[in-house]
Chains A and B, each alone.
Chain A
Amino acid sequence: DQQVKQNSPSLSVQEGRISILNCDYTNSMFDYFLWYKKYPAEGPTFLISISSIKDKNEDGRFTVFLNKSAKHLSLHIVPSQPGDSAVYFCAASAGFGNEKLTFGTGTRLTIIP
């Protein structure tokens, strides 16, 4: 049972435009959400997180939105740059610090110059 779902395996976006990556979850106990970026032959790199008490968190070009009623979160990257081309994983946990991260299957983002 996939509790965290990223339904788009891939996404292509023009350089300079907005990239929107989506993630849905089914476990209502999840209260902490994270996005990771992964380049080939490297481990995932933490990007940004959001607690369930918030609905938005920004860090530079990256913004994460959380819609708890829809059990949906999204990552916005504005403006998109060629270096953003990577696989993006959404992850969630229940019980801050005490529970594992449950990952989605990832979305491969390609930024077209």
Chain B
Amino acid sequence: KAGVTQTPRYLIKTRGQQVTLSCSPISGHRSVSWYQQTPGQGLQFLFEYFSETQRNKGNFPGRFSGRQFSNSRSEMNVSTLELGDSALYLCASSFQGAGTEAFFGQGTRLTVV
């Protein structure tokens, strides 16, 4: 069974630009969650999509948005990038939902300069 695939693996963007990250979950998984990891902060929950609907949202500004397609693939968008958005962005898929065993992708390392 193929794992969770995130693209791209690395990104360098300039402050003020926008960026779109992609996540393909494990086949059959309907839940896709996004997390931000920064040094010393652990993993911070961004949002969860389940069957194309945003079911849960973390405490991030509206510049962070996402969507899920009918094939469960998900995209995350960050607009008007700030230096503090530099982080590892992780996508996790699960069958039952964000609060259960989730399988993570390798992440996208975003650097904002």
Q: List residues of chain B with CB under 8 Å of any chain A CB.
A: 4, 6, 33, 35, 40-45, 48, 55-56, 58, 90, 92, 96-107
Contacts and interface: CB of A to CB of B under 8 A. Distances in A.
Contact of B107 (A43, A96, A101, A106): A43
A98 B97 contact: yes
Interface stretch (A14-22, A44-52, A62-70, A74-82): A44-52
At the interface, is chain A mostly helix, strand, loop or mixed?
loop
Contacts of B106: 41-43
Interface residues of A, number: 26
A34 B101 contact: yes
Nearest to A41: B106
Given A96-B96, A97-B96, A100-B58, A46 B103 contact: yes
B100 A32 contact: yes
B99 A43 contact: no
A34 B94 CA distance: 14
Nearest to A30: B99
Interface string A71-102: 00000000000000000010101111111111
What 10 A-B pairs have minimum CB-CB distances, sorted nearest first?
A93-B99, A43-B104, A97-B97, A105-B42, A97-B96, A103-B43, A99-B99, A100-B45, A103-B42, A100-B98
B101 A89 contact: no
Contacts of A101: 33, 43, 45, 92, 98-99, 102
Contacts of B48: 100
B104 A99 contact: no
A3 B51 CA distance: 28
Given A44-B90, A100-B33, A89 B43 contact: yes
Given A46-B101, A98-B97, A99-B99, 4 more contacts: A89-B42, A98-B55, A99-B97, A100-B58
